[in-house]
Structure 1
Amino acid sequence: MYFASLMKEDNLWEILDKRVLNQKNAEQLKEVAFLARRCIRVNGEERRTMKEVATELEGLIAMKKHPWVKGEEMMSDECEFLLGHVVDGYLQGHIADGYGNASASTLAAYESIQKQIAFEIEDGR
């Protein structure tokens, strides 16, 4: 509960070891913290499965290597143009992080999960 309350108050940096946190990895740490917060939700239907967690972490790694990523953050103009605006916690039908922000890695993971579900439905599983 302490972790969740710190996240809600935007005080994540209080619990991170200062040796881990730096300007280069702050955004990545924040993304992982948002994922962790979604993993500890009380309502089981809102919690991520391990497959979803793995997919989202893979998305974070892929985004770090993507040519549109400048340093650790996406260029905001290109990101806004490509992804649109966040409205009420959703980004044009995609899930946001609960604060009204949808990261590119979250969107990539969500789209990957959607494709997997569609494939399994078509496959009859």
Structure 2
Amino acid sequence: MTATRATRQRDVISRVLDHAEGPLTVGDVLEQAKNDLPSLGIATVYRTLKLLTEQGRIHPVVLDGETLYEASGKGHHHHFSCNRCGRVFTLHTCPVSLPKGTALAGGFIVQSHEVTLYGLCPECAAKNGAE
């Protein structure tokens, strides 16, 4: 019975991450997964995130020193972090043209890049205009 339960937990946590607008904190994953599994505990979320990371199904994203998680396979993308509500969104456009192999001054060779933009999400920007 434990194996079936663990599989259900993995499935629910995977589904939460697959449908997220951007990377989620462990607390966000727990909160959203509890909609389907009210008895889910934080230790199970941590174990499941570790397992899914090891399997390559998800990967960690570190923003401002905090580790968030998102589903793998989304291709090249960047993130937008809202300064007001704290949500992080996936951006499907790249504001930086730095192809792999680009040589930078000082002898640096680009292998990949990550960009996080900070500001107000559309919802918070709309509220900001109304205040």
Q: What TM-score bracket applies, with the shorter chain setting the length?
A: under 0.3
TM-score normalized by structure 2?
0.24
TM-score by length of 1: 0.25
Higher alpha-carbon Rg: 2
